[in-house]
Structure 1
Amino acid sequence: MKLAVNYSVEAERLVRDSVIDIDYFKCPDFSNELIENAEKTNPCYIHFGLNAGDGQMDKVNWKNVKELREQSNTPYINVHAVAYAKDYPNTDIFSSSPSLVNRIVDAAVKDIEIVAEKVGIENVIMENIVCRGQGENTMQAIIDPAIISEIVDQTGCGLLLDTAHAQLTSKCLGYDVKEYISQFPVKQLKELHITGIQADEKGRLRDSMPMTKDDWELARWVMQRVKDGDWPEPWVVSLEYGGVGPKFEWRSDQDVLIEQVPMLCDLVK
């Protein structure tokens, strides 16, 4: 397994100064220049901002996606399984009616098939997202393990498991996170994302934060499933802490990286 961390100015400096040791920077897909600069210090792979389920896949710049993938030797094209409440007006976000479930599954499958036509289904992985419940923008069905499994079964794509998304969803909806994750199509695991979740000043939980005791306990449990052979080895385990731009750069504390990257490395390696 390879180890990656979100690209940030702080992470780049620490790698360059040999303070932390990683295999890859995980880079966003919105800046070719950022990727070119990052690769001067360390190999990169690209995390694409593609969604499966919102009907926008035909608007993607596939030429740029393919160029970025080839430039960085990124093995998989990732998509996020989405079902936005705005696309299902006058429908309870907790609805599990067969007709709604079929619409959500069909929308995700259709979008994934578009990606598969471009790069081959063996190169496509699907990531679980967050559902916070009432008053939010995500239909609960899209985070249901049975529905995630149905999409994976119908398309043949792999699974990108985001433990923080699962943890956040579980805390918001009252699930047991280990039982929840165990129902995912983990036999198709290809990539793993790990990071912390913490409450903001208003008490709203968010991810891409420093790891807490609960987050480390979940990470150890997940990695033990892999090491015991219950789940296949993902090609990479990425610490999704820090980043670039206004949304992430304020939480790119080098002290957190200095402490937590080696801790995750111990788990992975």
Structure 2
Amino acid sequence: MALAADGSDVLLELMAAGQVQVDFLKVGPWIGLDRMFDRASQYPILLHLHTPLIGRSIQAELSSIQRLMDQTHPPFVSFHLDVPANRIFRFWKKAGIPLPIFRPKQAARQAIENIRILQTALLLPVAVENQAYHRRTGHNYLVDPVFIGEVIHEAGCHLLLDLGHARVAAAMRGEAVKEYVKQLPLNEVIELHVSGPGIYRGQLRDLHHPLAEADYELLRFTVEHCPNLQVVTLEYYGPAKLLQEQLERLREIVTRG
């Protein structure tokens, strides 16, 4: 099992000093294309795209996605199982408006169609990432394990299971996080994202804090239940000392896993 982390400048400095070692850098267009391509010329890459799979056809974006893949050569590519983060949706999500812009059947159908388009065009495994909804809206179904499982199984793709997102979604749903995780299609998980959520304005949120003991314990539990897991990725952009400490502990877990 491999270990990856966000391809931050701090991580590269630690690696250059020989203080940590990861097997992949996680990158995406948000760090800037020049920086992303420069990292890809020096290190193995995991390409993660924030492109939503619901709300519009992905056909028009295939050429730009293919260009990113040609420059980074990832073993697979991952996308958000979500709707576009436009102004209207952000307002509805923030306000907790209970009416969906996209209804569940429509959303599942479009996600499956877009995943199949990607699989045909890219000729690489495609993974979709579960999201973090911290309040009830008309789009709660996006973090429902039944909805996620339907999309995964119908499309024949993989799951990128973000455990920080899972903790947030489970809290919103009033469920124990391990019970929530066990409902997901764990046989299809090929990558885990780990980061520490935190309380903000009285709710558990996806804040990318340092990992706490509860996060390590959830990771160990999940690793045991994901037989096809390939890589664990730390999502953390904080101080070098905390980044190094977390990567050292994660290396022990993935080595045993």
Distance 2:57 2:145 in 1: 23
- Work out whether 1:234 is the aligned partner of 2:225: no
Preserved CA contact (<8 Å) 2:223 2:229: no
Matches within 5 A, 1:98-177: 100-120=103-123, 123-134=125-136, 139-177=139-177
What number of residue pairs does the alignment pair up? 245
Percent identity over the alignment? Answer: 24
Preserved CA contact (<8 Å) 1:198 1:207: yes
Q: 1:39 to 1:26 in 2, by over 3 A?
A: same
- Offset, 1:83: 4.3
What amino acid is the match of 1:101?
P
In the TM superposition, structure 1's runs of 4+ consecutive aligned residues that sit over 3 Å from their partners are 39-42, 83-87, 91-95
Q: 1:83 to 1:141 in 2, by over 3 A?
A: farther
Which residue is 1:22 aligned to? 22
Q: 1:222 to 1:35 in 2, by over 3 A?
A: same
Which residue is 1:33 aligned to? 34
Counterpart secondary structure, 1:18: coil
Distance 2:112 2:74 in 1: 23
Gaps of 5+ in 2: none
Distance 2:163 2:172 in 1: 14
- CA deviations 1:193-223 (Å, max 9, x no partner) are 11111224x4452232110121111112112
- Offset, 1:82: 1.4
TM (norm. structure 1) is: 0.82
- CA deviations 1:173-203 (Å, max 9, x no partner) are 3111111111111111121111111224x44
Distance 1:40 1:82 in 2: 30
Which residue is 2:43 aligned to? 42
CA-atom RMSD in angstroms:
2.5
Distance 1:114 1:22 in 2: 32
Preserved CA contact (<8 Å) 2:55 2:107: no
Preserved CA contact (<8 Å) 1:53 1:108: yes
TM (norm. structure 2) is: 0.85
- CA deviations 1:12-52 (Å, max 9, x no partner) are 10011111111111111242311233246533222112211
